[in-house]
Chain A
Amino acid sequence: MILDVIKNKIEQKCKTSNYPKEKIVLPENYRGMPLIKNGCSDDIVRECAENCPVDAIDSTKRTIDLGKCLFCGDCEKISNSEFVEFTGNYETGVSSREDLIVGVNTKKIELSTNAVFKKLFGRSLQLRVVSAGGCNACEADINVLNTPFYDLARFGIQFVASPRHADGLLVIGPVPVNMELALKKSYNAIPDPKVVIASGCCAISGGIFKNNPEQLKGVDEILDVDLYIPGCPPHPMTALSALLRFFTNKLQSSKA
């Protein structure tokens, strides 16, 4: 029996990626950071804005709000890539809500970090994940960070079972009214200093459900959010790179 287990282990080998030493390139169809272009007509931009299911496009300012964006790619197709092209850049996590509103010719967004958080949590970060109305896609893609390929634990980041053990909260979902109390209690149970991370467009802006009275319009209606991770769901690499940039010095591209 045990020989079968050992045999399997040898067959499986080590599947952990070398990120961040080795850059990871996602498949061509992956829709990451949108690159908004200046050249196309106002009519095309308006058509994209009208078709956007979450009204993430401001046709006058030619911006896309990544906090609302579902990354569905419809605007890219409608405009035949003349208005916007989704790139393979998955590093879209930010620390301020305004930074998610992306304008023309922006190739990447800086994530400004907090030196205090880096000092406190840079080598060991315990997070309590609370699913508040998530559709299970975000939950699944957070869970996958624990699997061998991403292996979050090697960076000192762990998901814990109780808010009492946690340094911060990672919230998923648009926060239905029925979850508001549970979320607040979880937050209050975390000892200070603590961080709050909003993962996924539902948690940032309420997502496709944002105008429903049964829920809030995002976590920052009731809690101060320190890190925003956009996507529907955010690709595990988006979450991983955001966590590493914000809390550690492993990706030396951010300013303290």
Chain B
Amino acid sequence: MNTCFINVENGVKIPFDIIPMLNFENFYEEIINFVNSDASVVLFFVFENKDEDELQFVAVLRQEDKLFAARSKALSEYPSFCTHSLKFQLFEREIAEQYGIKPIGHPWFKSVRYHNNFVNADDLFGNDYKNDIPGAYPFYKVEGEEIHEVAVGPIHAGIIEPGHFRFNCAGEEILNLEIVHGYQHRGIEKQLLNADLKKFPFILESAAGDTTIAHATAFSEAIEGLTNTGIDDESKKIRALALELERLANHVGDLGALSGDVAFLPPAAYFGRIRGEFLNILLNISGNRFGKGLVRPSGVRFPVSDGQKHNFVSKINELEKEIISIADMMFVQPGVLGRFEKTGIVKHNTATELGLVGVAGRASGIDYDVRRSFPVSAWKDITLDNIIEHSGDVMGRAMVRYREIKQSLNLVKSLLDKLECSNPDKCGYKQPVLEPSSFIVSMQEAWRGELAHCIITDSKGAISRYKIKDPSFHNWNGLELAVRNEAISNFPVCNKSFNLSYCGFDL
């Protein structure tokens, strides 16, 4: 389609000036054309352009394996894009919360993370942040004498991150679920506006600790793009290996947790331990179970030795047999199937309308994986089969995970096989000098889905905006709709089938 948006590539920098600066009417019209042709939103945010002394919208859209970007001046209010596509709803609320810019006609205007905006503008939600969260939050209420509200959290029974769930139920049946976030908000994006570059990798790794490798890799590739640094093949393979180990650890843990939630305990115990085995491989490589400190700009800090490679290969083979044996046993149990199948359905239309990504999207038939659509680094040489299910239920999401586990095990074996066991640490400790007045988008397929970092540098080469989008940002709505008309006792298994990040969302 014809557009004045510019084509951008994953991990490739462009001068900021060549991003088309459109007047708002034009910007609006172009975006509508995109969404009418089924485009998705990768990023939509505002940043303070100090060189041009104004706030600007930046939009990065995705259509058919291409990325498009443009910007526009941001005034104090604008007509909401939600009238045409709900994919924008959370991005618009985030902009309102961060920069005090109002989307007129937003279908459900409420806060995202409960914090003061970055520019001392008037608060648009009627909140006084000296009061405790959630402030003046417009909870959805269903009227009627038989309706009762169930409030869960922020602190939950299990050992999981905090978040608030508000159910409106008629008897056992959930009529509506509303999820309130913000409890994990640590102020990362604001911190990154001013932080010392030496802290960046650590901050980003801790944005969502279970997604350490994906965040660290997105960051490193962005910095490498901004400094014209190439990295050696061995580092590329180790990064891909670490990403897949992260995916394996989390997916295996999830299958175990799902099994535990339907009271079939053997896989919960076995997968819980096996998850630890994958983390131990990461520990063996990098000294940290989550791979914190492994991936840095210019490569990786730790090599894989010959001895380690052989140990890992035999370990993976051993674990593969165990996983398949346990999963095959799990997926034939009537008790398990009875709870998984037809539970928490998110239909394909709903998933597309909301723009779900990753495992949740693939379970509802959305065929999208960053590793295939926007391959960078080692992924350019790897062919991946697509993995989709069409049921959109808990079983679908569990099946996508199981099939991805099998795919990742093969990827890990193949990557290990190709490792040359060289690679002295080339990462160094000098702060990199970034290309001034530049723009770069760096995307990864984290284990939950599409993760994107965007860096904009100013005329002096300092980072003037670091935008982070964790895949959970797209998917929490999916959970809210999945549990509609389910029995409330099915909520835990639905929640675990999504297993989204609270801290990655809250930043």
Q: Which residues of A contact B (CB under 8 A)?
A: 1, 4-5, 7-9, 11-12, 15, 26-27, 29-31, 51, 53-54, 70-74, 77-78, 86, 129-144, 146-149, 159, 161-162, 173-174, 176, 178-182, 186, 202, 207-209, 211-215, 232-233, 235-236
The interface residues of chain B lying within 8 Å CB-to-CB of A1 are 332-334
B177-190 CB mask vs A (1 if < 8 Å, else 0) is 00000111111101
- Nearest B residue to A11 via CB reads B325
Q: Would you call B289 and A161 a contact (CB within 8 A)?
A: no
> In whole angstroms, what is the CA distance A239 to B489 when docked?
33
- Nearest B residue to A4 via CB reads B329
The interface residues of chain B lying within 8 Å CB-to-CB of A70 are 202, 292-293
B484-507 CB mask vs A (1 if < 8 Å, else 0) is 000000000000000001110000
Give residues of chain B (269-316) contacting chain A, Cβ–Cβ below 8 Å. 269-270, 272-273, 275-276, 280, 283-290, 292-293, 301-302
B212 touches A (CB below 8 Å): yes
The interface residues of chain A lying within 8 Å CB-to-CB of B160 are 131, 139
Q: Would you call A148 and B269 a contact (CB within 8 A)?
A: yes
CB distance from B248 to the nearest CB of A (A): 14
> In whole angstroms, what is the CA distance A78 to B430 when docked?
11
The interface residues of chain A lying within 8 Å CB-to-CB of B269 are 147-148
Instruction: Name the one of B184, B210, B429 contacting A176, with C-beta atoms under 8 angstroms.
Output: B184
> In whole angstroms, what is the CA distance A192 to B163 when docked?
27
Interface pairs A-B: 6 shortest CB-CB:
A137-B209, A135-B209, A214-B187, A147-B272, A161-B157, A29-B287
The interface residues of chain B lying within 8 Å CB-to-CB of A208 are 199, 202-203, 206
Q: Would you call A134 and B289 a contact (CB within 8 A)?
A: no
B207 touches A (CB below 8 Å): yes
* Given A136-B208, A142-B159, A214-B115, residue A30 in contact with residue B272 (CB < 8 A): no
Q: Would you call B302 and A29 a contact (CB within 8 A)?
A: yes
- Nearest B residue to A31 via CB reads B287
The interface residues of chain B lying within 8 Å CB-to-CB of A144 are 272, 275-276
* Given A1-B332, A8-B270, A176-B183, residue A132 in contact with residue B503 (CB < 8 A): no
Q: Would you call B186 and A162 a contact (CB within 8 A)?
A: no
Instruction: Name the one of B188, B273, B283 contacting A148, with C-beta atoms under 8 angstroms.
Output: B273
B15 touches A (CB below 8 Å): no
Q: Would you call B273 and A15 a contact (CB within 8 A)?
A: yes
Instruction: Name the one of A15, A136, A147 contacting B501, with C-beta atoms under 8 angstroms.
Output: A136
The interface residues of chain B lying within 8 Å CB-to-CB of A74 are 293, 429
Instruction: Name the one of A27, A72, A214, A232 contacting B186, with C-beta atoms under 8 angstroms.
Output: A214
- Count of residues in B whose CB is under 8 Å from the partner chain: 64
CB distance from A174 to the nearest CB of B (A): 6
B132 touches A (CB below 8 Å): yes
> In whole angstroms, what is the CA distance A146 to B155 when docked?
19
Instruction: Name the one of B115, B159, B198, B270 contacting A159, with C-beta atoms under 8 angstroms.
Output: B159
Q: Which residues of B contact A (CB under 8 A)?
A: 114-115, 132-133, 154-155, 157-162, 182-188, 190-191, 198-199, 202-203, 206-210, 212, 253, 266, 269-270, 272-273, 275-276, 280, 283-290, 292-293, 301-302, 322, 325-326, 329, 332-334, 425, 429, 501-503
CB distance from A129 to the nearest CB of B (A): 5
> In whole angstroms, what is the CA distance A73 to B276 when docked?
22
Q: Would you call B285 and A29 a contact (CB within 8 A)?
A: yes
Q: Would you call B325 and A8 a contact (CB within 8 A)?
A: yes
Instruction: Name the one of A5, A73, A131 contacting B287, with C-beta atoms under 8 angstroms.
Output: A73
Interchain residue pairs with CB less than 8 A apart (20): A7-B329, A8-B270, A8-B325, A30-B283, A53-B202, A72-B288, A130-B162, A133-B185, A134-B503, A136-B502, A139-B160, A143-B272, A147-B269, A179-B154, A208-B202, A209-B186, A214-B115, A214-B190, A232-B292, A233-B289
Q: Would you call A53 and B199 a contact (CB within 8 A)?
A: yes
* Chain A CB within 10 Å, residue with most, of B202, B301, B502: B202
Q: Would you call B329 and A235 a contact (CB within 8 A)?
A: no
* Chain B CB within 10 Å, residue with most, of A140, A149, A232: A140
* Given A133-B184, A159-B159, A178-B183, residue A141 in contact with residue B329 (CB < 8 A): no
Q: Would you call B329 and A207 a contact (CB within 8 A)?
A: no
Q: Would you call A51 and B162 a contact (CB within 8 A)?
A: no
Q: A11-B322, A179-B184 are in contact. List 18 more A-B contacts (CB 8 A).
A: A8-B325, A12-B266, A26-B283, A27-B287, A131-B160, A133-B185, A133-B503, A134-B161, A135-B206, A136-B501, A137-B206, A139-B159, A174-B186, A178-B133, A179-B154, A182-B154, A207-B206, A209-B188
Q: Would you call A129 and B159 a contact (CB within 8 A)?
A: yes
The interface residues of chain B lying within 8 Å CB-to-CB of A181 are 132
> In whole angstroms, what is the CA distance A87 to B284 when docked?
14
The interface residues of chain B lying within 8 Å CB-to-CB of A211 are 191
The interface residues of chain B lying within 8 Å CB-to-CB of A77 are 301, 425, 429
> In whole angstroms, what is the CA distance A72 to B161 when docked?
24
The interface residues of chain A lying within 8 Å CB-to-CB of B198 are 51, 53
Q: Would you call B334 and A29 a contact (CB within 8 A)?
A: no
CB distance from B271 to the nearest CB of A (A): 9
> In whole angstroms, what is the CA distance A7 to B326 when docked?
10
Q: Would you call B272 and A186 a contact (CB within 8 A)?
A: no
> In whole angstroms, what is the CA distance A231 to B427 when docked?
23
The interface residues of chain A lying within 8 Å CB-to-CB of B322 are 11-12
* Given A31-B288, A215-B186, residue A135 in contact with residue B325 (CB < 8 A): no
> In whole angstroms, what is the CA distance A70 to B190 when docked?
21
> In whole angstroms, what is the CA distance A179 to B322 when docked?
40
CB distance from A28 to the nearest CB of B (A): 8
Q: Would you call B273 and A149 a contact (CB within 8 A)?
A: yes
Q: Would you call B276 and A149 a contact (CB within 8 A)?
A: yes
The interface residues of chain A lying within 8 Å CB-to-CB of B158 are 161
- Nearest B residue to A129 via CB reads B159
Q: Would you call A178 and B272 a contact (CB within 8 A)?
A: no
Q: Would you call A72 and B293 a contact (CB within 8 A)?
A: yes
The interface residues of chain B lying within 8 Å CB-to-CB of A51 are 198, 429
> In whole angstroms, what is the CA distance A144 to B289 when docked?
12
- Nearest A residue to B129 via CB reads A177
The interface residues of chain B lying within 8 Å CB-to-CB of A202 are 206
Instruction: Name the one of A8, A30, A53, A139 contacting B161, with C-beta atoms under 8 angstroms.
Output: A139
> In whole angstroms, what is the CA distance A136 to B470 when docked?
14
The interface residues of chain A lying within 8 Å CB-to-CB of B188 are 209, 212
Instruction: Name the one of B199, B203, B210 contacting A136, with C-beta atoms under 8 angstroms.
Output: B210
Q: Would you call A27 and B272 a contact (CB within 8 A)?
A: no
Q: Would you call A178 and B187 a contact (CB within 8 A)?
A: no
Q: Would you call A209 and B187 a contact (CB within 8 A)?
A: yes
The interface residues of chain B lying within 8 Å CB-to-CB of A182 are 154-155, 162, 183
